Amino acid sequence: MLKKPLLTLALSLTLLPTALEAAAPREWSYRVMEKQPQPRDHFVQGLQIVDGMLYVSTGGYGSSRLLQYRLADGELLRVRRLHPRLFGEGLTVLGEQVYQLTWRARRLLVFQREGLTPKTTLPLPGQGWGLTDNGRELIYTDSGHELIYLDPDSGRELRRVPVRENGTPLPRLNELEWIDGKVWANIWQEDRIVAIEPDTGRVTDSVNLAGLLPDSERGPGTDVLNGIAHNPVDGALWVTGKRWPWRYRIELVPAKAAGDESR
């Protein structure tokens, strides 16, 4: 007599994680609050704000750099050029070190934050795309649908967390930023960014940034949306793209409210 109810309960418990995993993310649009000029030659691969400084990683063979700007007035303070055979990708600042990914060289470059002086190189298990940290571990992506956790001292892989949106794997995770306990990511070749639970990999929020850079501002070399930076001092969210002339400070607006405003 009890077998059927117990079986029903067991099935319910089995299906519960799947149902949670497939929960639809919140949909957002945006409002531009401010913009700052950015050199058009910046093929932006990584962006982060720390202690009033803006750190930028740019890509391209022969043109990859690590740069440090003063956020308040945009003054360029330091530039570190990468070897011509290295293609720069995502970056993150953890403690007194700056970590910069390379694309296909399977190298993670480590610089001393003071002066951006080279310190060491760590191995990567594959391609380097996006990079951030949770204050203890490095988190990077390799073009797939996983968040890959690394030991910041050795580069040793610690674990992988598959990322899913509506229960489906979400590939092409690119530039990353840690914001208020979640990993935010660009999706390569899409005009949107998403927020991801770092332990479960579930996408909780999706931000549609279509139209952020007007067509009139686009040139022959203008590339995709890429670059997320959160200012911990004031909570501002900055986004940009590859060879874009501007960095934009945006405010998130519920998608429905944004639609109502446009009518």
Note whether 81 and 61 are within 8 A (CB): no
- Classify residue 180 by its DSSP letter: T
User: Which residues have CB under 8 Å from 247's CB, separation 6+?
Assistant: 35, 36, 37, 38, 47, 227, 229, 238, 239, 240
Lowest model confidence (mean pLDDT) among 5-14, 53-62, 90-99, 236-245: 5-14
Q: What pLDDT, on a 0 to 100 scale, did the predictor assign at position 19?
A: 52
pLDDT in tens, 113-130: 999 999 999 999 999 999
Q: Which H or E run contains 7?
A: helix 3-21
Burial 168-186 (b: 16+ CB within 10 A, else e): eebeebbbbbbbeebbbbb
pLDDT in tens, 59-112: 999 999 999 999 999 999 999 999 999 999 999 999 999 999 999 999 999 999
Q: What is the DSSP string of 29-98?
A: EEEEEEEEE--TT--EEEEEEETTEEEEEE-STTT-EEEEEETTT--EEEEEEPPTT--EEEEEEETTEE
Beta strands 203-208 and 26-37: pairing type? parallel
Q: Where are the domains of the chain?
A: 24-262
- The average confidence (pLDDT) of the chain is 91
Note whether 82 and 65 are within 8 A (CB): yes
Q: Choose the CATH number for 24-262 among 3.30.420.40, 3.30.9.10, 2.120.10.30, 1.20.140.10.
A: 2.120.10.30
pLDDT bracket for residue 18 (50, 70, 90): low
pLDDT in tens, 181-206: 999 999 999 999 999 999 999 999 99
Q: How many CA atoms, within 13 angstroms, populate the side-chain half-sphere of residue 34?
A: 6
Q: Which amino acid type is present at position 229?
A: A
pLDDT bracket for residue 169 (50, 70, 90): very high
Q: Which amino acid type is present at position 35?
A: K
pTM for the model stands at 0.89
φ, ψ of residue 236 to 5 degrees: the values are -65, 145
